[in-house]
Amino acid sequence: MKHYHYIFTGNGLSALLTLFEMIQSGRFSDKKILLLDSDTKNKNDRTWCFWDSENLFNGITTKNWQQAWFKSENFINKLELFPYSYKMVKSADFYKLMFDTILQHKNIEIFQDEVLEFSESGNNCVVQTKTKSFTCNQIFNSIYSSELVNAQTKFPLVQQHFIGWFVKSKEVVFTEDCPTFMDFSIAQKGNTRFMYILPTSSTEALLEYTLFSKDLLSKEAYETEIENYIKKLGITEYEIVEKERGNIPMTCFPFWKNNSKNIINIGSAGGWSKASTGYTFKNSVKKSRELVRFLQTENDFTKFHKINKFWYYDLLLIDILYQTNQHGSTIFSNMFKSGKASLIFKFLDEETSFWEDLQVIWMCPQRLFIKALLKRIF
C-alpha cells in the first residue's frame, strides 16, 4: 500500500485552495501528497461569485462589477459596492490555474477514483477507493455528507438551492455593468425566493432562480420560473448556452466536531459555507490560509476550529428561516434598504467590530430576532 504524508479526499474548491496555499508557503515541498477525486475537474461545473476588496484571482476573473441592484416588492436600490467589487470566476478557469501549478510539483500525485471510505487508526489513516487503498499521516476531506446534519435537529438545515440558465437573448435587456444581487419582487409562495442575474453583456446573462428553504423543488418548478422571468424582461427569443444547478448547506451544524487529530473536514463538509448566505468561495480562501498557517506550527486538527460571535448571529437567522421561511424577503430587504452594501459585506465577511454589528443588526426586524433568541435560550 502506497503511503503519503497528506491525502486530499475530494479536490474541488477547498482542497485546491488549501493545496495552493501549501505550495505558495514553500513549507510542504518535502511532503508526499495525493489528490483523490472521482471527477476530472476540467469542466465548467459551476460559476463562483463573491465580493472582494483585495484583487483575489484577478487573472481569471470573468467579470468585475462595481454596482449591483437589490430589488424587493416595494423598492429598487442600486448599491455602490466600493471598496468591494462583485466578481465572477468560472470554475473551469480556476481548476486550470490550480492544476497548471500543481502539475509543476513532483511531490504531488493525482488519482481519479471514487473514495469509498477513510478512517484513522493509531497514527495512520487509511483511504479506500473503488480500486485501491492508500495510507497517509493526515487527511483533508471535502466530500460532503448530509447524513450527519440530517440525523439531528438542534442545528436546522436550510438549503440554498437553485437552477441557473446562462442565456443569450435577441433583445438588449441586461445592464452589463450591474448584476442583480437579489430580486425579491417575484412570488414568494411562503418561502424565501429570489432571482439572481449576472450579466456578461447586454444580451447575455446567467439567471438563477434561488430559494433559501428546507425542501428542494422539482426541476420543472425552477425552470418554469426562469422562463416566466425571461418573458417579464421582454425577451422573445433566446438560446440557453449553459445550465447549472446547486444545493448549498446553510446551517450552523458544528461540522468541526467530526474532525479528529489526523482527519480534518474542509469546504462545505467542514462548515466553510457561510450559514446565513451559502457563500463559500471567499470563506474557503480565508479558511485555507488559516489552515495552512496552523499546519506550520500544529498538527492536531481538533485544535483548528474556533467559534466566533458571527456563528451565533447566523444561528438566529437560520432558526428564523427554518421556522418561518416566508420572512427571508423582509429580512434581506430591510438590510439592503439602507444601501450600505460595504458594511453588510464586511459583516458577512465576519470582519466588523461590535459597534458595526449593532448597526447591521439594527436594520433587521428586531422582533423576529428577539423571538428566535428567546427560543434558543429557553
Query: What are the strands of the beta sheet with 85-90, ordered from one edge?
Result: 47-52, 85-90, 61-65
Residue number, 258 or 326, with CB nearest to ligand FAD:
258
Q: Are the C-beta atoms of 376 and 319 separated by less than 8 Å?
A: yes
Q: Which stretch binds ligand FAD (CB under 6 A): 40-48, 97-105, 219-227, 366-374?
A: 40-48
Report helix, strand or coil for 118: strand
Alpha helices in 187-340 (DSSP H): 219-232, 281-295, 309-323, 328-337
Closest CA to 207 of 216, 198, 194: 198
The residue written with cell numbers 416566466 in the block is 228
Q: How far is the CB of 204 from ligand FAD (least distance, A)?
A: 17
Residue number, 51 or 372, with CB nearest to ligand FAD:
51
Q: Which stretch binds ligand FAD (CB under 6 A): 31-39, 184-192, 227-235, 285-293?
A: 31-39
* Residue among 50, 140, 229, 238 that touches ligand FAD (CB under 6 A): 50
* Residue among 49, 98, 125, 163 that touches ligand FAD (CB under 6 A): 49
- 242-281 residues near ligand FAD, rule: CB under 6 A: 244, 246, 248, 267-269, 279-281
Which positions ≥6 away from 97 have C-beta within 8 Å?
Answer: 57, 59, 60
Q: Which stretch binds ligand FAD (CB under 6 A): 38-46, 212-220, 222-230, 344-352?
A: 38-46
Cis peptide bond N-terminal to 83, omega within 30: yes
Provide the strand spans (E) within the chain.
Answer: 2-9, 33-37, 47-52, 61-65, 67-71, 76-80, 85-90, 108-112, 115-121, 124-129, 133-141, 158-169, 180-183, 193-201, 204-213, 238-250, 263-265
Q: Which stretch binds ligand FAD (CB under 6 A): 10-18, 20-28, 303-311, 313-321?
A: 10-18
Q: How far is the CB of 15 from ligand FAD (least distance, A)?
A: 6
Cα-to-chain-centroid distance, residue 126: 29
Residue number, 11 or 192, with CB nearest to ligand FAD:
11
Residue number, 15 or 226, with CB nearest to ligand FAD:
15
Residue number, 182 or 368, with CB nearest to ligand FAD:
182
Amino acid (1-letter code) at residue 127: V
Question: For the chain, how big is the Rg over CA atoms in Å?
Answer: 21
Q: How far is the CB of 114 from ligand FAD (least distance, A)?
A: 4
Residue number, 11 or 188, with CB nearest to ligand FAD:
11
Q: Are the C-beta atoms of 31 and 1 separated by less than 8 Å?
A: no
- 106-165 residues near ligand FAD, rule: CB under 6 A: 114-115, 142-143
Residue 53, number of CB atoms within 10 A of its CB: 14
Q: How far is the CB of 19 from ligand FAD (least distance, A)?
A: 11
Q: How far is the CB of 172 from ligand FAD (least distance, A)?
A: 25
Residue 13 makes contact with ligand FAD by CB under 6 A: yes
Interface positions with ligand FAD (CB under 6 A): 10-15, 36-39, 41, 46, 48-50, 114-115, 142-143, 244, 246, 248, 267-269, 279-281
